[in-house]
Chain A
Amino acid sequence: MSDVVICLFAAAGFDKAAQGLTGAGRRLADSLGVPLRAVVIGADALAPELARFCETVVVADKAELAQYQPETCLNALTRLCTELRPRAVLFANDTYSQELTPRLAHRLGGSAVGDGVEVRFEREALRVVRQVYGGKAQAVIELKRAPAVVWLRARSFAPAPPRAQSGEITRAEFEVQADARTRVVERVREEQGESRLEEARVIVSGGRGVGGPEGFETELKPLAEQLGAQLAASRAACDAGWVPPTWQVGQTGKKVSPELYLAIAITGASQHMAGISEAKTIAAINTDPEAPIFKHCRFGIIADYREAVPLLREKLAALRK
């Protein structure tokens, strides 16, 4: 009972989250001097990439696991982890990982914690650093039972260097215990184009002060197109129904890490800032000079966005020439 295991869903591909998760797993395994193992759920797609970084890769691609079903997937992961007997099981921060982590810990007799931004072993126990109180404070949490089952803010972790020798890929051969008490019957994607907000390099984001869906449509959208940016929003704008919930950035929304985050009419409550702590540069347009957003900005302008954004588009077009 000593290895570190990372669990990934094949469908997401080897994205920044998968790379960060692999890096976090590698460093944790190295600190213990134990092998890093990967479990890929759903298909064998990710296995060759992961084999470059892990000692072994277990592919769980039974037909019952091709499409995510919460109960069935949990049964399979419980079975796999019981066989592997790991000391730590790490996941990324996608919907499915967040959903399964505490339940898997319970079934393995371990402890779970989520949204980790740092992980390290202190003697026998895993310690995890995470934001609490809506991003206003940070806590170090010590997991008291083993294994430690943790989901990480995976994109915040540096990737791992490839190993000299490729790892061994095996296929998990076991009877998957299907459970039909719940069943996903429909899946709908509501993303903007093909790209994901978490991977965006420039983000134009609007808050309560935008005042309605029209502001997003007539002002923010053209600005985003001009900057090659993706659109996002604060919780207030999503709750008002102005934009879809998938646009929400913050403590309970997406955690983003763009080069530029342009916050328009967003006050900057700590819950929102918790989602953009990894942004390289934050800039803001806001009418209120006391708005907390300005405490996190590299540069800002005190103005009504309705006046500033049309002008900004003109200036940007002129500068780009």
Chain B
Amino acid sequence: MNILVCLKQILDPEVPARDFRVDTVRREAERGSANLVTNIFCENALETALQFRERAPGAKITALSYGAPTAEDSLRKALAMKADAAALVVGDGQQNPDPLTTARVLAAAIRKLGTFDLVMVGREAGDWGAGQTGGLIAEELGLPCVSFVDRIESAGGRLRLRRQTDSGWEMLEAEPPVVVTVTNDEHNVPRIPKVRDVMMSYRQPLTQWTLDDLDINADEARAGNAYYEVVELFVPQKETRCEFVAGDTLDEKVEAFAKRIVEVTSAL
């Protein structure tokens, strides 16, 4: 079983709102003092793949990223978590390419890397949150796609995919090759790599390509806006003044709190 996991490096989404600024002209978030991290849903995808390999020995996991040269860190971490191989496509154009550009670059890299039974991506990224990469890669590769998957098992030559829905969950059977997008669940919280494995990861080979190495229209990919374009980006100013309920003791405060709740709910 050949598994490919796509990873995106993003600005740490945990940066508090008060430290968050956007550049309204370039229509991007300002880096500030925020760290660059691997998108959490991509790590959930990798973790799901690693657990699958534990139950299906012999499976091989390749991590792939498209981004700035710093995205190498996300791939080194993936290797430290015990992915078998890693490849990076370094972008030298638009910092925030549209979803179709991203999908075309990744699909071209996937074709160049070989054939895969399972292509995994996070359900969406913590920066732009478009949630389109998986579906569009599937279309580019002509494969079926299942979204919001949280567990994968092998059943004979088929895959059993459990996925979350609005009202609960569904089990799907899929004939590989298939693309899945992965969501978070109590079982796929990403493991923390050992310090030794982190150090070792820097000695492992890592394939690096530029857009010109891929079988795509590199100029179109650099422009990265033929599908859609962010025409405005701003931080909405919305702050409510919280009334902290008054009282000398907890009992009095809770009483005041209860009264406010009754006010709001009595009309319902």
Best-surrounded residue of B14, B228, B240 (most CB of chain A within 10 A): B228
By the criterion CB–CB under 8 Å, are B189 and A103 in contact?
A: no
Of the candidate stretches B71-79, B82-90, B171-179, the one touching chain A is: B171-179
Task: Report A-chain residues with C-beta under 8 Å of the C-beta of B138.
Answer: 103
B144 at the interface (CB under 8 A from A): yes
The A-contacting residues of B in range 76-130, CB under 8 angstroms, are 99-100, 123-124, 126-130
**Cα distance, A201 to B251, chains bound together (Å):** 27
By the criterion CB–CB under 8 Å, are A181 and B233 in contact?
A: no
A215 at the interface (CB under 8 A from B): no
A300 at the interface (CB under 8 A from B): yes
Task: Report A-chain residues with C-beta under 8 Å of the C-beta of B253.
Answer: 301, 303
**Cα distance, A209 to B240, chains bound together (Å):** 23
| Contacts A133-B127, A260-B264 given; does A102 touch B136 at CB 8 Å | yes
- Identity of the chain A residue whose Cβ is nearest the Cβ of B146 in the assembled complex: A182
B156 at the interface (CB under 8 A from A): no
Given A183-B174, A227-B261; 19 other pairs, CB 8 A cutoff? A94-B166, A95-B148, A100-B135, A132-B128, A134-B126, A180-B175, A185-B171, A185-B172, A189-B167, A235-B184, A240-B186, A251-B129, A252-B184, A283-B257, A292-B16, A294-B244, A311-B251, A311-B254, A316-B262
Task: Report A-chain residues with C-beta under 8 Å of the C-beta of B165.
Answer: 95, 187
**Cα distance, A71 to B145, chains bound together (Å):** 8
Of the candidate stretches A23-31, A46-54, A105-113, the one touching chain B is: A105-113
Task: Report B-chain residues with C-beta under 8 Å of the C-beta of A285.
Answer: 257
A64 at the interface (CB under 8 A from B): no
B residues apposed to A, CB below 8 Å:
11, 13-14, 16-17, 20, 22, 27, 29, 41, 99-100, 123-124, 126-132, 135-136, 138-140, 144-148, 150, 161, 164-175, 178, 183-186, 189, 225-236, 239-240, 242-245, 250-251, 253-255, 257-262, 264-265, 268
Residues 145-162 of chain A, each 1 if its beta carbon lies under 8 Å from chain B, else 0 = 100000000000000000
The 4 A-B residue pairs whose C-beta atoms are closest, nearest first, are A241-B186, A315-B258, A190-B168, A140-B232
The B-contacting residues of A in range 291-319, CB under 8 angstroms, are 292, 294-303, 307-308, 311-312, 315-316, 319
By the criterion CB–CB under 8 Å, are A299 and B242 in contact?
A: yes
By the criterion CB–CB under 8 Å, are A202 and B262 in contact?
A: no
- Identity of the chain A residue whose Cβ is nearest the Cβ of B148 in the assembled complex: A95
Residues 200-228 of chain A, each 1 if its beta carbon lies under 8 Å from chain B, else 0 = 01100000000000000000000000011
A266 at the interface (CB under 8 A from B): no
By the criterion CB–CB under 8 Å, are B174 and A181 in contact?
A: yes
By the criterion CB–CB under 8 Å, are B268 and A202 in contact?
A: yes
By the criterion CB–CB under 8 Å, are A312 and B254 in contact?
A: yes
**Cα distance, A201 to B268, chains bound together (Å):** 8
Task: Report B-chain residues with C-beta under 8 Å of the C-beta of A228.
Answer: 268
Task: Report A-chain residues with C-beta under 8 Å of the C-beta of B161.
Answer: 182
List, sorted by A's number, 30 A–B pairs whose CB atoms are closer than 8 Å.
Answer: A95-B165, A98-B131, A99-B147, A103-B136, A111-B227, A115-B131, A137-B235, A139-B128, A139-B232, A141-B230, A143-B228, A144-B227, A179-B144, A182-B161, A188-B169, A202-B265, A240-B186, A254-B166, A259-B264, A271-B13, A271-B126, A292-B17, A296-B239, A297-B242, A298-B242, A300-B245, A301-B257, A307-B250, A312-B254, A316-B262
